[in-house]
Amino acid sequence: MIDTLRLTAEEAKRLLDSREISGAELFAAYRAAIDERDEELHCYLHLCDDPGGDGIPIALKDVIGTKGIPTTAGSKILEGYVPVYDSTVVERLKSHGLRILGKTNTDEFAMGSSTENSAFGPSHNPWDPSRVPGGSGGGSAAAVTGGLAPWALGSDTGGSIKQPSALCGNVGLRPTYGTVSRYGIVAFASSLDQVGPVAKTVRDCAYLYSIIAGRDDRDTTTVELPQPVELPEATDLKGLRVGVPKELNEAEGIEPGVTAAVQAAIARLEELGAEVGECSLSLSVEYGMPCYYLIAPAEASSNLARYDGVRYGYRAAAAERLEMYERTRDEGFGDEPKRRIMVGTYALSAGYYDAYYGQAQKVRTVIKREHDALFETFDALVSPTSPTVAFPLGARTDDPLAMYLSDVLTIPSCMAGLPGLNVPCGLSEGLPVGLQLVGPQFGENALFRIGHALERAIGFDPVPERLR
């Protein structure tokens, strides 16, 4: 019997290569797990038929365009939309024989930190279904932890891979901006969006990243990796220098249990041979969130202007064209996209562009320079990924600011376009705590090395106690 709760993608590949199991048996095992547990967890918005072949199954966040498979971005306005082409990342998955299990739930247009903004209902955390799995990619993270997929792809704008991975207790990578193509991805904020892997182990995460990364002529922001992706082997960290930004580790709102688990993990880094030192990201932490909530909504306002009921997706009934536009957008978008569209449109409007969006872009340069200066001394930075463990469903839905603060620790490095890796580092209140490792541009291999060594040293059990 295939234990989908513990099977890693690396082990699945070994079993397939040795013909101990067939591709059909593996796909069927995950579909059986989905049938058993997804009614409770609601990770998937759409399931796919077995396409045949002998590759590893994978789940895809429902902002990733898939030919012939519905892609809704968690929004009523795209309900029923079926792309006529594959995104570049899906093309690359298929070229490696990977088989799509289905499309996972997401906050609408990837706007949220709990997956409660989905037009199709929230996902639930496999550790405790009364709690959120994080967001916006809560469906992908919950699917991997719940044994409903061996690995998955998510997308990250301000923390939407790292934060759900932290709350669900798995490994998630937000890659360096420009290393993964955005072609065929439903856009939120184009200067921030990045697709990345969610997996049970750091090695699985690195392997999936190696499949999807690289230049794409259809996305002019992409670049070739300066060095190949390495699957980490080392279990010591001798020669590596890790910085501990004071402001990210002592920020207001970090729960004591989170601090304790992260501090214990930092001590492990020293035991493994890393040189650990305190540092500062004062400007990045102070200005990161206000800067993000000007740039991201402004770009969302522009990107979401295309949803007008004319070419695809939801269309409201109306006698006049202008009324159709208005009613389609009013009925099709949920509260959070409307909120961000209004903020972003205001920031881009005549007379305010330079004062808001233009100024935020200047601050963003300051944030990047502050990070770059630290990487002259350190190979990686470490902090909690989320200030809290998974919070109860409904706890923050009436307080947008409290919800936004869920990403206060992940946003600064996202604004700088830098890679970030979440690694589970322990439990607090019986729920996972995530450790965030941030590296310099193209620094993924160092993050994988540190994360792998830490993963081996901590021995975190990724299977929720209630499912063991």
In this prediction, residues 432-454 reach a mean pLDDT of 98
Kindly indicate the confidence band of residue 350, based on its pLDDT and cuts at 50, 70 and 90.
confident
How high is the pLDDT of residue 52? 85
Instruction: Tell whether the model's pLDDT for residue 1 goes beyond 90.
Output: no
Q: Which residues are catalytic?
A: 61, 136, 160
What is the percent of the chain with per-residue pLDDT over 70, rounded to a whole number? 100
Instruction: Flag whether 357 is in a domain.
Output: no
Kindly indicate the confidence band of residue 371, based on its pLDDT and cuts at 50, 70 and 90.
very high
**In 314-462, which residue ranges form alpha helices assigned H by DSSP?**
321-332, 335-348, 359-374, 400-404, 411-415, 444-458
Kindly indicate the confidence band of residue 374, based on its pLDDT and cuts at 50, 70 and 90.
very high
Instruction: Flag whether 139 is in a domain.
Output: yes
Cβ atoms of 127 and 371 within 8 Å: the answer is: no
Instruction: Flag whether 313 is in a domain.
Output: no
Distance, CA of 248 to CA of 257 (rounded, Å): 15
Q: Which domain holds residue 232?
A: 9-282+365-463
Total structural domains within the chain: 1
Kindly indicate the confidence band of residue 53, based on its pLDDT and cuts at 50, 70 and 90.
confident
Distance, CA of 244 to CA of 67 (rounded, Å): 44
Instruction: Flag whether 442 is in a domain.
Output: yes
In this prediction, residues 60-66 reach a mean pLDDT of 98
**In 333-358, which residue ranges form alpha helices assigned H by DSSP?**
335-348
pLDDT digits (tens, 9 = 90+) for 144-170: 999 999 999 999 999 999 999 999 999
How high is the pLDDT of residue 44? 98
Q: Which amino acid appears at position 103 of this protein?
A: K
Distance, CA of 464 to CA of 34 (rounded, Å): 16
pLDDT digits (tens, 9 = 90+) for 319-330: 899 999 999 999
In this prediction, residues 237-241 reach a mean pLDDT of 97
Kindly indicate the confidence band of residue 342, based on its pLDDT and cuts at 50, 70 and 90.
very high
Instruction: Flag whether 290 is in a domain.
Output: no
Instruction: Flag whether 329 is in a domain.
Output: no
Structure tokens at 290: 């206000």
Does residue 280 have a cis bond before it (omega within 30 degrees)?
no
Instruction: Name the more confident of 135 and 51.
Output: 135
Instruction: Tell whether the model's pLDDT for residue 312 goes beyond 90.
Output: no
Instruction: Flag whether 291 is in a domain.
Output: no
In this prediction, residues 307-331 reach a mean pLDDT of 94
Cβ atoms of 149 and 30 within 8 Å: the answer is: yes
Q: Euclidean distance between the first and final Cα of the chain, in Å? A: 15
Nearest residue to 154 via CA among 115, 122, 99, 117: 115
Average pLDDT, the chain: 97
In this prediction, residues 388-395 reach a mean pLDDT of 98
Structure tokens at 13: 């590949």
How high is the pLDDT of residue 265? 98
pTM of the model: 0.97
pLDDT digits (tens, 9 = 90+) for 172-215: 999 999 999 999 999 999 999 999 999 999 999 999 999 999 99
CATH of the domain at 415: 3.90.1300.10
Residue 311 phi, psi dihedral angles, 5° rounding: -95, -35
How high is the pLDDT of residue 395? 97
Instruction: Flag whether 24 is in a domain.
Output: yes
pLDDT digits (tens, 9 = 90+) for 266-303: 999 999 999 999 999 999 999 999 999 999 999 999 99
Instruction: Tell whether the model's pLDDT for residue 304 goes beyond 90.
Output: yes
